[in-house]
Structure 1
Amino acid sequence: MKLNLSKPICFFDLETTGTNIATDRIVELAILKVFPNGNKESKTWLVNPGVPIPEEASAIHGITDEKVAGEPTFRELAREVYQMIQGCDLAGFNSNRFDIPLLAEELLRAGVDFDMKNAVSVDVQTIFHKMEKRTLAAAYQFYCGKELTDAHSATADTQATYEVLLSQLDRYSELTNNVQELAAFSTHNDTVDFAGFIRRDENGEEVFGFGKHKGRSVHEVLEQEPGYFGWMLNADFPLYTKKVLTQIKLSKLNNKLG
C-alpha cells in the first residue's frame, strides 16, 4: 500500500516533560516526512527544555536532564523544524489532542507563526480507536504483526505510526486513501484552536467550548462582555488559543470597518 498524497505529509512524535499543553516542553522530536512520490526524509532532535524533566516523565521515555544538558533549546531548533513541516499535512498518534497543540505552543513561544489553515492532520490513534480501540503498541502488533520494542522513543513511535496507517488503509476498505478524508475521519470534534476551547457549531460559527459561555458565539460574547477577551489573553490558556481568539476578534472588527 502506498499513501495517496497530493503534497508531503509529516508523521511526528514528541516526548515531553509532561502533558500540560500550555506549560510543558519538548525533550525529543522526530519527524518522518513522506513525499507524494514515496520518498521519505527523517530527522530526530533531542531538545533541552530549559526546565527540569520530572522523574515520572523520564521513567516513561528515558530522557533525563543529563541526557539533554548539551542539546539545543527548542527556540534554537524552531526554524529548522518549521522548515521541515512547512507546506505539509501532519499525522501522528494522538496528535490532534496533544502533539500538534504542544508543537504549536513551542513554535509560537519561539516566535514562529505556526498555523494549520492550509493543512490537515490525520490522527492515527483516532482511526485505531474507532476501528479497534487499542494502544499504539497493540496497534503495531495488530496491524503490522510486529512488537514495538522501543516504545516511547520518538523515532520508533513515529515509524510505527506511519506503518500502522498504511496497514489501516490495507485492512479497511471504507477508509479512503486521501489525506483530507483521513483527517476528517480522525478528527474528534470540529475544534478551531486544537485544545478545544473554541469550536465550530453545526452552522460553522465559532463558539466557546468551555466555561460559563460554552456553546455561545465567540463574536457575541466578545461584543457583550469585552473584558472576557482580556481575561483569556492574561489567563493560562495555550498561546494558539489566544492567537485564534485574537484573529476572530480582528475579523469582526475588520468586517465592521468594511
Structure 2
Amino acid sequence: MKLNLKNPLTFFDLETTGTNTVQDRIVEISVVKVMPNGETITKTNKINPTVPIPVETSLIHGIYDEDVKDAPTFKNIAKSLAQFLEGSDLAGFNILKFDVPLLVEEFLRAGVEFDTSKRKLIDAQKIFHMMEKRTLSAAYQFYCGKTLDDAHSAEADTLATLEVLQAQVAKYDGEDVVDNLGKKVGVIKNDMAVLHEITSSNLVDLAGRMVLNKDGQEVFNFGKFRNRLVSEVLEKEPGYYNWMMNGDFPQDTKRKLTEIKLRGIGNS
C-alpha cells in the first residue's frame, strides 16, 4: 500500500556504540526518504564516533573501530543531514525511545539546530504493540486459541497462564531466543532452569534497579550510575547509598543494596 503523505517521510535506523541515549554515539545511520509522489531516496553513512566501540557491541552490529576510523564524524555531516531531513517527518522502529533521542543529542553536540516538535514522529513498534496486545487474554487467544472468560479473576488468570506456558514450550521448543539487539540469550527448552535463565536470571533485585552485567557483576540499571558497578559506586560515592535507603525504593532493593555494601566492607 502506498503511504498517503503530505510531507516527505524519512525512515531511519542507527547503529551505535551502545544503548545509552546520552553517552553513546552513532557509528552508522541509514535513511530512506519517501517523497509524497512515492519516490524514495536512500542514504547510508558510517560515522566515526570519536570514542572506542565496545567489542560486545561490535559483535552485534558488525562494525568495529577499524571500519570507522576514516569515516566522517557526526559533526562533519550534521549540517548536510539536517538539510536532507528539512521538512521531513520521521519514522522507524522504536525511534521514540532510542533513535530520535540519540539523534537529537548528536545534533546538539554538533551545534546544529534540529527541532522535532514540528515533525510528525511515527513509531512502527508502538503500532505493533498497540495492535498486537501483550495481555494475558491476547496470549491465551494466540497460543491456546481460546477466549479467556473471567479475565482478571485470579483463578482464571492463573489457570490460563499455566496453559499459555505449556503452549509456549511446545511451540518454541529448541528455538533460539534473541534480545532487542539481536544477541542470542538462550534456547527455549522444557526445563524450568533454562526458562529462568532466559527470563529473569540477570535480576539482582526484583524491581530491576540492579542487574548482572555480562561478567556476572552487579551494576545499577537506572540513573546517573547506570551500568556502573554497584560496589564501585558505593565505595566512591557513599552518599548514594544513603540517598537510595531514604528514597522511594522497594524494601527488597534496599535489602540487596545493603547486602552488597556489607560484602564490600567485609572484603576491605
Q: TM-score, normalised by structure 1?
A: 0.51
Higher relative contact order, chain-length normalized (CA < 8 Å, sep 6+): 1
**Aligned partners of 2:49, 2:15: CA distance in 1, in Å?**
11
Residue identity opposite 1:79 in structure 2: K
Partner of 2:43: 43
1:131 aligns with 2:131: yes
Which ranges in structure 2 are unaligned for 5 or more consecutive residues?
135-179, 183-222, 224-268
CA distance in 2, matches of 1:90, 1:5: 12
Give matches, 1:196-235, under 5 Å.
Answer: none
Asked if 2 retains the 8 angstrom alpha-carbon contact of 1:31 and 1:42, the reply is yes
| Cα distance in structure 1, aligned partners of 2:104 and 2:133 | 27
> What is the identity, as a one-letter code, of the residue corresponding to 2:32?
L
User: Aligned-pair distance for 1:62?
Assistant: 0.2
The equivalent of 1:104 in structure 2 is 104
Per the TM alignment, residue 152 of structure 1 is displaced from its structure 2 partner at its CA by 7.5
Number of residue-to-residue matches in the alignment: 139
* Partner SS state of residue 43, structure 1: strand
What corresponds to 2:237 in structure 1?
none
Q: What CA deviation, in whole Å up to 9, does each residue of 1:31-78 have, x standing for no partner?
A: 000000001101000000000000111011000000101101000010
What is the RMSD computed on CA atoms of the aligned residues? 2.2
**C-alpha contact 1:18 1:24 (8 A) present in aligned 2:** yes
Q: Which residue of the partner structure matches residue 80 of structure 2?
A: 80
Task: Please state if 1:12 is matched with 2:19.
Answer: no
- Structure-1 residue corresponding to 2:185: none
Identify the residue that residue 65 of structure 1 maps to in structure 2: 65
Percentage of pairs with the same residue:
57
- CA deviation after TM superposition for structure 1 residue 81, in Å: 1.1
Tell me the CA shift for residue 132 of structure 1.
Answer: 2.6
Contact 1:15 1:152 in 2 (8 A): no
Q: Distance in 2 between the 1:121 and 1:52 partners?
A: 31
Query: What is the letter of the counterpart of residue 11 of structure 2?
Result: F
Mapped partners of 2:94, 2:21: distance in 1 = 13
Q: Is the partner of 1:2 in helix, strand or coil?
A: coil
Q: Which has the larger radius of gyration?
A: 2
What is the one-letter code of the residue matched to 1:13?
A: D
Give deviations 1:196-241, integer Å, cap 9, x for gaps. Answer: xxxxxxxxxxxxxxx9xxxxxxxxxxxxxxxxxxxxxxxxxxxxxx
Distance in 1 (alpha carbons) for counterparts of 2:60 and 2:128: 22
Q: What secondary structure is seen at the aligned counterpart in 2 of 1:127?
A: helix
With normalisation by structure 2, the TM-score equals 0.49
For residues 68 and 95 of structure 1, what CA distance do their matches in structure 2 show? 23
Moved segments of 4+, more than 3 Å: none
